[in-house]
Chain A
Amino acid sequence: MAQVVLDKVNKKYDNGFHAVQDLDIDVADGEFLVLVGPSGCGKTTALRMVAGLEDISSGTLRIGDRVVNTLSSRERDIAMVFQSYALYPHMTVFDNIAYGLKIRRMSSTEIEQRVRKAGDMLELGHLLDRKPKQLSGGQRQRVAMGRAIVREPQVFLMDEPLSNLDAKLRVQMRAEISEIQRDLKTTTLYVTHDQTEAMTMGDRVALMKAGVLQQLGSPQHLYDHPDNIFVAGFIGSPPMNMAVARLIRSDGLSLQLAETVLPIPESVVRARPGLARYVDRDVAIGIRSEDMEDASLARDDAPESRVRAKVALTEALGSEIVVHFDVAAPKPVTADTKALDKDAQTSDVPVAHRGNVFVASFGPRSRVRPRDDIEIVVDRERIHFFDPDTGHAIRD
């Protein structure tokens, strides 16, 4: 068991592309750290540097108490699960799992014992004689896991191991991998572009954008306290609703969101002294869908928490009703939002073409219909504030 420390690690490819910039990450001993970000942000590059498959241009990489920058993969005592699984097609499942042990000249009884144990753990026992092409996608994935487990390495590295599975299997394997990691307590660096995986699996999450670390913290911390618009928009599904509003002073501070004036509670202003600098200026605000509720369902709310809207679309999911409505205030436009839009276009989330559509999730007993004029209660304690130019969270 060991910790992994990346200290100002950089990667410049031969063509001059700076794929990873000053990356500082420390994975504690036994921790499950998820490295997440849109595709092309340098996650794989970072992981491959840890694995020893890619040279480190500058910075220090420590595994345990050794600096391993110049050590080869085999000397780093790591195991890696590839996105493609990279099973050896000419070997049986048993030989695939045993390969790393045979290379290390382990005795055959010990190999047998370890492979059987891993096979049982992953329910591969009856498949050990098969070749990879005789396995389903999920089974191949397990073999790839088994290969990593039997080695009993200091660190697991996983590069989007679930991205080739269908949705249902992905959910199942997500739980299994988490469970195995908890049992073995092996330090794990896990790369994914799927924020759900990051949220559900990681002890902590490191979010990257364009080669730069944006925020590192527990999933809940990133969700509740995003450092910038990019983190706010990337973490959470549906993505956080964003709009540009004007901060005005009337009694306390208020937000003018198109026609609506929404007073900001005193406690919020106190927690964010920086807000005072934005009086009579625009701010970008973010509201999560669950922080809005149908006013007819919410009982004890202050009347000033209410905003009016016209419903564009409803999606009844049983446990909740997802309500889309137009907001007259524009979306903020920063480098972060552009990066988010680009990511959304490459994923399967539909992009609203024009205007600013908010998404709220109402309780299942809400009776709203498309084209209804409704009142929405906003949890004003939980509004996020960002600088509309830099995208940084406004705090102090």
Chain B
Amino acid sequence: MAIIGTQAGPALSTPDDTPPPYEVVELGGAQGGWFRRVGWSHLVGILALAFSLFPIVFVVSAALNPVGTLSSSTLFPTQVSLVNFTDTLAGSFPRWFANTLIVGVLSAGVAMFISASAAFAFSRFRFRGRRGGLLSVLLIQLFPQFLAIVALYLIFTEITDVWPAIGLNSIWGLTLLYLGGALGVNTWLMKGFFDTIPKDLDESAKVDGATHSQIYFGIILPLVRPILAVTGLLGFIGAVNEFLIASVFLTDDRAKTAAVGLYGLIADDQTRNTQFGLFCAGAVLLAIPTVLLFMYLQRHIVGGLTAGAVKG
């Protein structure tokens, strides 16, 4: 706000009936209505929300649609029933679901632990090949994994001959594959986080008499919980949602993960329409563990755990 004009004389007050001898000019400021100041951001938010909720609402509606065909699905259901869910659970889906959970939990958990251990070493120890190791981990990560699918497929065909338990058509083999995939990114992500934990803590524990593993499990891991939660969650989501590699590796119905199995339901033109309700019911069920995991981990994903470690 700027004041333009001159005030005549030293008078401190002006008589009530005369207008003040200056005019007020507003430059920017609280001008315009509610919409121009705040409202537009609500509008943007609502649009974004609608955009991202649309597919979810559609899938949930389709899952509740008792007719269960694509052509009869609408954004908001006209009839509601759980028949699709009961049908899904009666078929192969429980098996696929269990497979997915096993692969997801195992690959996320083990990858988390291996990456954390690697990150601890890269962050805390100084050894020959440290820099080279870090760089090559990153470099390998730069190659898209599906470029390697052909090679991996050939390798796993051989393995299947020797040791079928971890070969093709086995969720254990797939878990192994996923483990390798996430290692690079996770290690880098975690190393960055480990570096923010003051080294004084390690050294203090060392003077107190702790061994490396006591420091790792007792001091460092509890303090890096947020990054463990993040990588664990991302790893789990990645494994649950992964389709491409899984579809190549798992052809036996009993070995399929939910992503591959559900796709099979709507893979060809005849079934796409009729089994759409089953597919959507499976998709909704599949989302539950991810949402639960997210809700559980949410309180661990708070930074600033190290606040108060050092200084006053």
Contact = CB atoms under 8 A, between A and B. Distances in A.
Q: Is chain B found bound to chain A in the same assembly? A: yes
Nearest to A164: B312
Contacts of B198: 84, 86
B210 A103 contact: yes
Interface stretch (B75-83, B279-287, B300-308): B300-308
Given A84-B200, A89-B223, A103-B214, A147 B312 contact: no
Nearest to B126: A14
B309 interface: yes
Contacts of A165: 312
Interface in A58-115: 72-74, 78-80, 82, 84-90, 99-100, 103-104
A188 B211 CA distance: 25
Chain B residues touching A, range: 20 to 34
Nearest to A133: B308
A69 to B, nearest CB: 17
B222 interface: yes
Contacts of A134: 308
Chain A residues touching B, range: 35 or more
B208 A100 contact: yes
A269 to B, nearest CB: 52
A82 B308 CA distance: 14
A90 B302 CA distance: 13
A74 B209 CA distance: 4
B309 A132 contact: yes
A225 interface: no
A104 B205 CA distance: 12
A291 B265 CA distance: 99
Nearest to A138: B312
B207 A73 contact: yes
A100 B200 CA distance: 15
Contacts of A104: 209
A88 B206 CA distance: 13
A86 B203 CA distance: 9
Contacts of B206: 52-53, 72-74
Contacts of A103: 205, 208-210, 214
16 contacts: A52-B206, A82-B200, A84-B310, A86-B309, A87-B309, A87-B310, A88-B204, A88-B205, A88-B309, A89-B308, A90-B305, A103-B208, A103-B210, A138-B312, A141-B312, A164-B312
Given A73-B206, A132-B309, A138-B312, 4 more contacts: A86-B203, A88-B204, A88-B205, A100-B208
Interface of A: 51-53, 72-74, 78-80, 82, 84-90, 99-100, 103-104, 131-138, 140-141, 147, 151, 164-165
